[in-house]
Structure 1
């Protein structure tokens, strides 16, 4: 075999599917005409090596890097102990308010007001955390 052939990497089905998705997305965004999409998809599924696939998407914009998700998820709460503590305190206060309301027998469900503000504070805290994790966020000194 030639030396330039040994440096080439064979394309897997997953590589072809990834490039086909990128081509289809570009077509749905209007970056490629229907004929260009069909032509490129035909080349994608005929490609044997990864460099052939790279050439088919070289003129397309790269997708934006994924932003971290909203941190009120299990994974987000595991990463942020302060957010986990905030959630625990908010739940404890809400439970105490509901128990007090039930014991006193007041007709109006007044715990809804503090529970609302506890939820707002929790969402603001989570939003600030996600903003700080986002790429390009200003780092305080």
Structure 2
């Protein structure tokens, strides 16, 4: 144990072993490892107890490139639309504050402004190859 009470070696979880096993299998599929090396390393992966031992099994393999997620609000026209909707929402809230009306009437126009921005982003995203299952990332 170190001075903070945290163990110096962490036990590996099944997800850690599965991640390392998929890296080794991918390296074997790319031809970076021979079949014997893949079998040997996979056997070691599933018998490993600590995470530092898992890291040693893939230290000589290249790290996979991170996948960039498509950006839903990346198009300049959608950004302008979003900025205009935000300014209009602020103006509506200021008008509501000054008017002294007890109920929050800007909620309905702000909802439709938000829906228009989302539909615009969806249409622009469809043109750029964005799929809903990819998730949403904001630039």
Instruction: Report how many aligned residue pairs link the two structures.
Output: 91
For 1:20-39, what aligned pairs fall within 5 Å after superposition? 20-39=21-40
List runs of 5+ in structure 2 lacking aligned partners: 83-114, 131-137
Residues 101-138 of structure 1, C-alpha deviations (whole Å, 9 max, x = no match): xxxxxxxxxxxxxxxxxx789726x7xxxxx95xxxxx
Q: When the two structures are superposed, what TM-score results if normalisation uses the length of structure 1? A: 0.50
Counterpart in the other structure of 1:71:
72
Q: 1:88 to 1:58 in 2, by over 3 A?
A: closer
Counterpart in the other structure of 1:123:
127
List runs of 5+ in structure 1 lacking aligned partners: 90-118, 127-131, 134-141
**What is the deviation of 1:87?**
7.3
**What is the deviation of 1:62?**
0.6
Q: When the two structures are superposed, what TM-score results if normalisation uses the length of structure 2? A: 0.51
Bigger helix share: 1
Contact 1:86–1:122, Cα closer than 8 Å, also in 2: no
SS state of the match for residue 72, structure 2? coil
SS state of the match for residue 25, structure 2? helix
**What is the deviation of 1:71?**
2.9
C-alpha separation in 1, matches of 2:30 and 2:49: 27
